[in-house]
Structure formats: structure tokens, C-alpha cells
Amino acid sequence: MARISAEYGGSIHPVSRLEMIQNARKKSPPSYHPCPVEERLTPAESTNRKLVLANKTKLLRYSCTVNDITVFGAVSRSAKLAKLTAAEAALEHLGLLVRAPPKRMPRPILKLAVVNSRKGE
């Protein structure tokens, strides 16, 4: 299968996109599994441990298994975001993740030097 162009796939959710790619390749769909994350309390939180643990949401991390390869997503407080990052990691591993270029490129250093030298004249 050829690489997907930048115009295609930018607006499709990574979880759906990964599933569509696996279906097109006639391979098994990706599987997602939650991974345990150890959460550490700050010293300020440890003094009120019971109150903090009652109000604090758990950290989540998902693993995604595609073609007998397992990749891990980022740690998140949201299950949806954790699953999304796992799908993005799988797409990146397969070489299919299209990242948008930055909206504004920084000014080149040489151009800044020329501008600064004109100010000193």
C-alpha cells in the first residue's frame, strides 16, 4: 500500500483511521488495552491524602497492538485522549501519521541579524 498523502487523513480521527487502514489491508483490527500508571502525590497533596485521592481523577495510558507490535500512548487524565495518543503512536510506527506543519515559521537568524544591524545605524 502506498503512503497516504498529506491531504488525506488529516481530518479523520486517528482511532478510526487506524481501523480503516487495517481493514483495507485485510489485517486484524487494532486492539487497545489500558495500562496501569503509578500516580505520585506532591508533598502538599500528601498531607491531605484522603481528600485529594477522593477528588483526583486517575491517570490513564493505553497500549495499541497492531500487526503483533505494541506501542504506548501518552499519559492522560482522559480515556479518550489516552486512546487517541496510542492510535497516533501506532500510525507513526507504521509511517502513516501526517503531522501538519507549524502555522508560522520563526524568522531566520540571518534575517534577524540584518534587521538588528539596521537599527544600530
Q: What torsion, rounded to 10 degrees, do the Cα atoms 88, 89, 91, 96 define?
A: 100
Give the chain's domains with CATH numbers: 14-99 (3.30.160.20)
Q: Check pLDDT > 90 for residue 34.
A: yes
Q: Which residues contact 93 (CB under 8 A, 6 or more apart)?
A: 66, 69, 71
- Mean pLDDT calculated for residue range 60-75: 92
Question: What is the longest distance spanned by two Cα atoms in the chain?
Answer: 67
What is the pLDDT averaged over residues 95-102?
70
Q: What is the pTM of this model?
A: 0.64
